[in-house]
Amino acid sequence: MAKILFVVSGADHWTLADGTAHPTGFWAEEAVAPYRAFTDAGHEVVVATPGGVVPTVDRGSLAPDVNGGQEGADAMAAGLEAFEELRRPVALEDVDPDAYDAVYYPGGHGPMEDLAVDPVSGRLLARVLASGKPLGVVCHGPAALLATTGPDGRSVFAGYRLTGFTNAEETQVGFADKAKWLLQDRLVALGADFQEGEPWAPFVITDRNLITGQNPASSVPLAAEMLNRLG
C-alpha cells in the first residue's frame, strides 16, 4: 500500500484582472476520480492545504452540464461526500514529503490564487521532483509550478515536457480576457516545454517522474499512469 499526498488549493476565490473575486476552489472531478482510483487500488490518501484549511469545491464542477447530466452530477456529489480526507486536511507547512510515495495536485482555478505563489508548495514540488517519486499535476494544478526556483534562480521544471489548462480552453470558458495571466503563457515563460492537446480531450504528458494532465478529462488517465508507476 502506498501513501499518496493530495496537495489541494485552500482558496475559495480567484482574483480577476479587474479586482473582482470569482468564486472557485478545486475542481471536483480532478479530486474525486483519482481519489477513487487510488483508494480502490488499496492506497492511502492524505490531503494537505495551505494552513490546513478545509478546501472549497468549485460549485461549477458539480453542475450537470460538466458531469454528463444530472445522474453524473449526483454521482460526483456522492463521490465528493465519500472523500472524507478532504474534510480533515493537514497543514501543508507540516508535511514531510519523504513520508509519501507519490504526490498529486488537482486543479480548479484555486491554485491560480494561492499555490502559484506559495513557497512551501514550491519547495515540496522541487523535493518530490528530485526524489524520482511519481508527481501528478492536472489542469490548473500546474500553476503551483510557478512557485518553484532552483539554486540558480531558474525553475526546476524548466525544460520538462508538460501540459496544463490551455489558452484555448480558458478562452472557451470565458476567462481568457478576464484573467490577470494565463497558465499556458506562464508555464512557457517558466521554461517548460508546453504540450497542447485538443480542447477538453484527455491528454497526459509524462517526462521522467512528472505526469501532467491538460484538463478535467485527463485526471483518470493521469491517475492510471501514477498507479502504473506505483506498481
pLDDT along the chain (231 residues), means of 10: 98 98 98 98 98 98 97 98 98 98 98 97 97 98 93 91 98 98 97 98 98 98 98 85
- With b meaning 16 or more CB within 10 Å and e meaning fewer, what string describes 159-168? ebebbbbbbe
Per-residue DSSP letters for 160-224?
Answer: -EE--S-HHHHHHTT-TTTSSS-HHHHHHHHT-EE---STTS--EEEETTEEEESSGGGHHHHHH
Model-level pTM greater than 0.95? yes
Q: Nearest-CA neighbor of 163 among 181, 131, 136, 128? A: 136
Q: What is the pLDDT of residue 150?
A: 72
Q: Is 159 left (phi over 0), alpha (psi -120 to 50) or beta?
A: left
pLDDT score at 151: 73
3-state secondary structure of 45: strand
How far apart CA 219 and CA 231 sit, in angstroms, is: 18
- The upper half-sphere exposure of residue 196, i.e. CA atoms within 13 Å in the direction of its Cβ, equals 12
| pLDDT score at 31 | 98
